[in-house]
Amino acid sequence: MLTAMSRPLEDKVVVIVGGTTGLGLAGAQACVRAGARVVVVGRSAESARKALEVLGDRARAVVGDASRPETVREAMDLAARELGPIAALYHVAGGSGRKAGDGPLHEVTDEGWEETLRANLTSLFHSNRAAARRFLEQGTPGSVLNMTSVLAFSPSPRHFATHAYAAAKAAAIGLTVASAAYYAPRGIRFNAVAPAVIETPMAARAAGDAEIREFLEAKQPLQGGLGRPEDLDAAVVFFLSDQSRHVTGQVLAVDGGWCVSEGLGARREPAP
């Protein structure tokens, strides 16, 4: 029999921005298993359709650009109309700006800077602002969980020198902590998870490069390389649920050991 401990999001409504693929979809599945009803936001009708097939009748989907303020408002309106008062927001939307011109500072193009911040920071600003406004309107506490990256505070200059991306993810931490301080008296919590390299479409470049894969075997030694989307699930459910009701303003690295490993190319040692 499932208990309150195993279903800590029982009947809570969670909006997941960027929830139709990769880390967001894995998080949405974890939330549903934990008892939540979810609204996922994705960029394409096809990804939304596939997500709903996986998530079932406890889910709804909105298709739109997360960097536009009306997209998350539409998702929250749908959630409130069909599922109930919103309890939590999980912002995952974002991604690499490398193809747009991100890279080392002296190589970053204007387009690369603007596109990377739009996708990773402007979208987060819109979703977080909408969530704060909604919780205040409802007169309820709430939880906001943001996606940042270990590259915001633990750089890897050889293989992952995308400085606009690092700046956007560092700014996400700043907004998370400042918001946590301001809204704590209202019972509205803001936290963040900081993954390292996870096996998603965004990591295709790393996964397809033998040198980077070898580097990651040592840099992320807990599993000997790239993490999996579901490696974040327990942290996501914890932060979105009342299990973390006494936690705010925190950034949790879910990184396979990235922040405590040199990653100089030494292969993973066999277990004793």
Task: Provide the annotated active-site residues.
Answer: 165
Q: How many CB atoms lie within 10 A of CB 231?
A: 20
Helix 163-183 vs helix 110-117: angle between axes, to the nearest 10 degrees? 30
**Cα distance between residue 32 and residue 34, in whole Å:** 5
φ/ψ of 76, rounded to 5, equals: -70, -35
Place of tokens 């277990």: 271
**Cα distance between residue 137 and residue 223, in whole Å:** 44
**Cα distance between residue 125 and residue 118, in whole Å:** 10
φ/ψ of 260, rounded to 5, equals: -120, 15
